[in-house]
Amino acid sequence: MENTVEYTLRMKKELNAQVLVVGAGLAGFGAAVAAARNGARVLLIDRAAMAGGMATTGLVGPFMTCFNNNDDGKGRDRQLIMGIFDELCRRTEEKGGAIHPEKVEGMTSYCSYLWDSHRHVTPFQSEILALVMDEMLEEAGVTVLFGVTLCDCITEGGRVSRVIVAMKEGLCAIRAGLIIDCSGDADAAWFAGAPTVLGNGRGTMQPTSLFFEVDHIDRDRFLGELEANRHRLNRHGANCFHWIIEEKKKTGEWTIDRDELGNYEQNLPGRWKINTTRMAGVDATDTAQSSEALREGRRQVQQVLDFMRENLPGCEEIRLVQVASALGVRETRHIAGHYTLTVEDIMEQRRFADSVVSFAYALDVHNASGGGVTFTCVKDYYNIPYRCLLPRGVDNMLVAGRCISGDSEAAASYRVMPACCALGQAAGTAAAIALKAGVNPARVDTDLLRKTLRDQGAVICD
């Protein structure tokens, strides 16, 4: 039986903002910059020590494709995620921290030798990316507070009146006209009492990972082995070095529930991001489960390093550069919004009058067991309607990122960071329009929203 503790505190500190953005990952970054550039006074909070979320503290990279799905290479390539995301990529490239996706092809070291839905990825250095995000947030006039943890939302009459957070100074209340939940886990929406769905609604979520970075690899020998086995590659779920992993599984030397080595070279030759660890059955909204997943992830990192050192050409002197400080979470809560995007909407390319994002990454479902993935490419592109960003029952809140209203399989596409940034830009722009018009987000003129987004660089395909 759980203990109940009653605790009353008179808070000595209250912050105020027109728009409060919860979470400074790609979605929160896009939302904060967009809202501020459109005239709102914005406060952005995050529990980490830097902006970027999965891209920085999680070391997740590269950015998956932001182009349409033209995987046969015969059609017309179109970059779908532009606006703030494209500016971020170009400015990071200017500082020597990225390669713009228009310059990156499939079946290369930058995309772990995959082609389908892996053309035009964006290799980047997490350290440089965080710096550029700081600069863009400051230039937009956003107030940013790190080391701030969301604790609760106080609701009155279907609106959030105050958000309670924990800061170094203690508990603090934040009063904001509008809240944009970019927590990834729909934490603010959940605390506010909005309905949510955990995973697929039956307790199953995609597995978690822990990224890490390596260098001191003999690049020519390492890539030479992959080039010599090109005919074995472009197999989602069983790709790079799967022929060696299969043998090591038989001897018990490989125990991780993955059938490949996901290796993504950064723009620094010889430095790779490794995506190979897998911790399944983890509910990342549960602190104890997340903590154990982090510990297991660090153990698996050492197993992968030993495997590479002992079995892969060019890895004899491999060196661990860093391990992510944040767990790589693919799926937790989805809000139940004014519209729920379905996998049928994506595959049938359904059109919506209120579309605010066009995207084309595949349905990339990391299987909950068995080590593989279910990878289904989409047709050219699909659209995400604005209504997916509106939680039910909370009038002054928007949601952006992987926790918008969509079914579990649909979320397997738009959960990746380019889409999250575009969803953030849409939410931030909508918040600024709502404030100017004096209306709730659900009453925003979506024709004006779509025009504003396009005028500011976003691509919305009709």
- What domains sit in the chain, N to C, each tagged with a CATH number? 14-106+123-203+331-366+375-455 (3.50.50.60), 212-323 (no CATH)
What is the model's pLDDT at position 12?
Answer: 86
Q: Determine the pLDDT at residue 203.
A: 85
What are the residue ranges in the chain where pLDDT is below 50? Answer: 1
* Helix/strand/coil for 272: strand
- Residue 315 exposure: Cα atoms within 13 Å on the Cβ side: 20
Alpha carbon of residue 426 to chain centroid: 16
Find out whether the peptide bond into 313 is cis, omega within 30 degrees of 0. Answer: no
Q: Nearest 5°: CA angle at 80, between 74 and 84? A: 145
* Contact call for residues 300 and 324 (beta carbons, < 8 A): no
345 Cα distance to chain centroid: 21
Q: What is the pLDDT of residue 70?
A: 78
Q: What is the pLDDT of residue 72?
A: 60
Q: Supply the pLDDT for residue 9.
A: 87
Query: So what's the pLDDT on residue 55?
Result: 98
**Exposed / middle / buried, residue 448 (Cβ in 10 Å: 0-12, 13-18, 19+):** middle
Q: Which residues pair with 264 in a beta bridge?
A: 273
Report the alpha-carbon distance of residue 432 to residue 441 in Å, rounded.
Answer: 9
- HSE-CB at 156 with a 13 A cutoff on CA atoms is 5
Element counts in the chain: helices (H) and strands (E): 11, 17
User: What's phi and psi for 290, nearest 5 deg?
Assistant: -65, -40
